[in-house]
Structure 1
């Protein structure tokens, strides 16, 4: 189990770097494109395409990271009024349903990638195979499913209620 948690920490570290560098590169690229358009009256043809690809990367890489940190969207109006035992059981159930949904969406994304490979679709500006852009989607949902599995395990093993593997319920959140 310790190896599993070390692997989780490594994945989190890599994800943090991917998210940070992706956002910074996307911002820099799109700012340069705006400056180029305004100063030189010429837009970089690939900027929008790369920006869109980076947006996909950041969005779907962030799924597992948000689950790990307990920063995913939650509706807590009813949840907060429940007893601790019911909260724990409900959190395990919610994590299981979310994990199953992520696995299902991951399989759909893999089918889509196979379909795009078969069609030989390429992006318009860079002429990059379109499946490469879509490859991050099943990875993101797969990592999210793993995080929810870990959330189930930690909620079964630990007496506290965890909304994410790093975040016991009731811990103050940073904004």
Structure 2
């Protein structure tokens, strides 16, 4: 097997590979692993192995919740920042916390099948979300307030950066089986 040179992307390619392959289904796990090895993507192989080729439905559901929550959070941020006139640091914190709680309730029931939310899972979810929130908040406010980037663009960049933390911490810690 020849080594292929790694291509350079502005985002971590391994995360993109893992997310895209999660949609292909569990039945092709051996072929997927071979594709990753051929692509010289060892960290993606390790990520897939560590969660047993990821329960495809759970990952897809989690991604759908995340995408929907991102749109709702942007709408709430716009309301708080442009209409209510809260300072951007306060508006981002309030919008993020509201959506953290909503995402937990929906994911706990729909993605992970728990009949009722539990305080211990909510506490772990908040712990996992804290890391993602710190990344998100610093990027949005650093780019928006300090560098003058429009807050919507800063929001999208901050959300993309926080995604990596959330995906791993949710599946490997909060709802680890």
TM-score range, shorter chain: 0.3 to 0.5
Calculate the TM-score normalised by the size of structure 1.
0.36
Instruction: Look at both structures and tell me which one has the larger radius of gyration over its CA atoms.
Output: 1
Calculate the TM-score normalised by the size of structure 2.
0.36
